[in-house]
């Protein structure tokens, strides 16, 4: 898979899935193996528990995570104790998790391990800073379940999106969901100066005037939009949402007479909790959407087999997905 050359151009990578069992661990193992073959050092951790032999939900067999000599990693004390590799401890975080403290270590003799890392994106950012201080050029975060939040550009510079039959065994529905996710990931960025002005705003809805100056609208919830609609556009037609973007917000904006002039700005694609139908209606009516930071999607991978055992035709699914989203899709089960 040629996307390895793209991955090593970045300092950090997240592997996320549209659903559980879309082949994230297989993809991680492939990436780790290829990085080892080309001699590119990396560090790896997880936002949940990855590498377990048996799926906790479906009871099916799962691939373990294989780490190679020289790889730096972070996992919990519990899973560090059960590792099947030789390593040296570099640091132990005094803060405790449900599985004990988090151990930072370097592999001396490769083998298998369970990865269980930070529970928050804030702690993940600290850990990647720690990896950089140790001189590791690439940090990889493997996402548990379907945590798209770790793919935020505020956490990692690049991402691999895993999709497959676990999302839907209907190829048309699979294409629709994957294409919509890729559309959100590819949303245009605002200009850097405006992004810098808005990035430190913690919450709420803000208006942005023609000079790019933000103004607090003092609207704490989308449920208060109806009561404040007369003030919503008092500084212009550009609105910044510091938190989540919901169907309710898009529906409200789409119903306004100024929709053709409305420009909605979100922090990044992980802040969208919307359905394709509502999103597409907003765009069809003339509304614009941008983000402060755009995620760099380096690859889309496919697991053609669902947890229930149904298998899509791999070549057909990859071909149709590639045509729909405009970038190559790779079957991770063939590597």
Dig out the tokens for 308 from the structure: 């229930």
d(CA 306, CA 326): 24
Distance between CA atoms of residues 312 and 304, nearest Å: 5
pLDDT in tens, 95-104: 878 888 999 9
- Both structure tokens of 148: 């798209």
| pLDDT for res 273 | 93
Average of per-residue pLDDT across 9-19: 92
Which range among 2-6, 144-148, 160-164 shows the weakest confidence by mean pLDDT? 144-148
CA distances from 317 to 26, 176, 200 (A): 18, 12, 41
Q: What is d(CA 318, CA 304) in angstroms, rounded to the nearest whole number?
A: 9
What confidence score (pLDDT) does residue 48 get?
65
Number of H helices, E strands in the chain: 10, 19
pLDDT in tens, 224-278: 787 877 788 889 999 999 989 999 999 999 999 999 999 999 999 999 999 999 9
Which residue in this structure is represented by tokens 């297989």? 26
Digit-coded pLDDT (tens) for 139-155: 999 875 455 666 788 88
- From the list 190, 135, 178, the residue with the least C-alpha distance to 300 is 178
Distance CA 290, CA 265 (A): 5
Q: Specify the pLDDT at position 224.
A: 78
Count of CB atoms situated within 10 Å of the CB of 89: 10
Block residue for tokens 């510091």: 242
pLDDT of amino acid 144: 58
> What pLDDT shows up at residue 333?
78
The predicted structure's pLDDT at residue 223: 75
pLDDT for 122: 83
CB atoms within 10 A of CB 197: 17
- 229 vs 177, residue with greater confidence: 177
Q: What is the pLDDT of residue 120?
A: 79
Q: The pTM is what? A: 0.88
Contacts of 89 (CB under 8 A, 6+ apart): 103, 104, 105
Position 173 scores a pLDDT of 96
Find residue 242's DSSP bridge partners: none
- DSSP states along 187-252: PPBPPHHHHHHHTT--SSEEEE-TTS-EEE-----GGGHHHHHHHHTTT-SEEEESS-EEHHHHHH
For residue range 281-303, list pLDDT tens digits in order: 999 999 999 999 998 999 999 99
Helix (H, G, I), strand (E, B) or coil at 278: helix
Contact between residue 134 and residue 252 where contact means Cβ atoms under 8 Å apart: no
Q: What is the mean pLDDT of the chain?
A: 90
Residue ranges and CATH numbers for the domains of the chain are 4-185+296-334 (3.40.50), 192-291 (3.40.140)
DSSP secondary structure letters along 87-128: EEEEEEEEEEETTEEEEEEEEEEEEEE-EE--SSHHHHHHHH
The pLDDT of residue 73 is: 96
pLDDT in tens, 28-44: 999 999 999 999 999 99
Instruction: Report how far apart, in Å, the C-alpha atoms of 17 and of each of 79, 117, 166, 301 are.
Output: 23, 17, 10, 9
* pLDDT (mean) for 317-327: 95
Q: pLDDT by residue (tens digit) across 119-142?
A: 777 888 899 999 999 999 999 998
Residue 147: its pLDDT value, please?
Answer: 56
CA gap 123, 101 in Å, rounded: 13
């Amino acid at each position: 898979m040629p996307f390895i050359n793209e991955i090593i151009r970045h300092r950090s990578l997240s592997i996320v899935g549209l659903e559980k069992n879309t082949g994230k661990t297989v993809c991680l193992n492939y990436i780790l193996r290829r990085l080892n073959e080309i001699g590119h050092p990396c560090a790896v951790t997880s936002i949940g528990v990855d590498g377990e032999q048996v799926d906790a939900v479906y009871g099916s067999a799962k691939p373990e995570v294989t780490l190679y000599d020289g790889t730096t990693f972070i996992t919990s004390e519990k899973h560090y104790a059960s590792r099947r590799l030789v390593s040296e401890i570099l640091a132990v975080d005094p803060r405790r998790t449900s599985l004990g403290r988090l151990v930072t270590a370097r592999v001396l003799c490769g083998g298998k391990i369970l990865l269980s890392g930070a529970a928050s994106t804030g702690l993940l950012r600290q850990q990647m800073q720690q990896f950089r201080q140790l001189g590791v050029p690439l940090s990889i975060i493997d996402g548990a379940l379907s945590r798209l939040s770790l793919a935020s550009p505020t956490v990692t510079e690049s991402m691999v999106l895993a999709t497959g039959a676990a999302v839907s065994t209907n190829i048309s529905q699979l294409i629709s969901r994957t294409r919509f996710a890729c559309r959100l990931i590819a949303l245009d960025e605002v200009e850097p100066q405006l992004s810098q002005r808005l990035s430190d705003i913690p919450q709420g809805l803000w208006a942005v005037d023609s000079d790019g100056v933000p103004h607090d609208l003092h609207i704490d919830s989308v449920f208060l939009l109806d009561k404040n609609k007369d003030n919503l556009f008092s500084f212009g037609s550009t609105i910044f949402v510091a938190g989540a973007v919901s169907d309710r917000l898009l529906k409200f904006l789409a119903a306004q007479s100024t929709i053709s002039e409305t420009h909605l700005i979100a922090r990044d694609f992980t802040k969208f909790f919307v359905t394709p139908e509502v999103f597409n209606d907003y765009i069809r009516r003339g509304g614009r959407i941008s983000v402060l930071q755009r995620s760099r999607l380096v690859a889309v991978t496919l697991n053609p087999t669902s947890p229930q055992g149904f298998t899509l035709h791999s070549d057909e699914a990859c071909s149709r997905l590639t045509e729909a989203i405009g970038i190559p899709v790779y079957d991770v089960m063939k590597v």
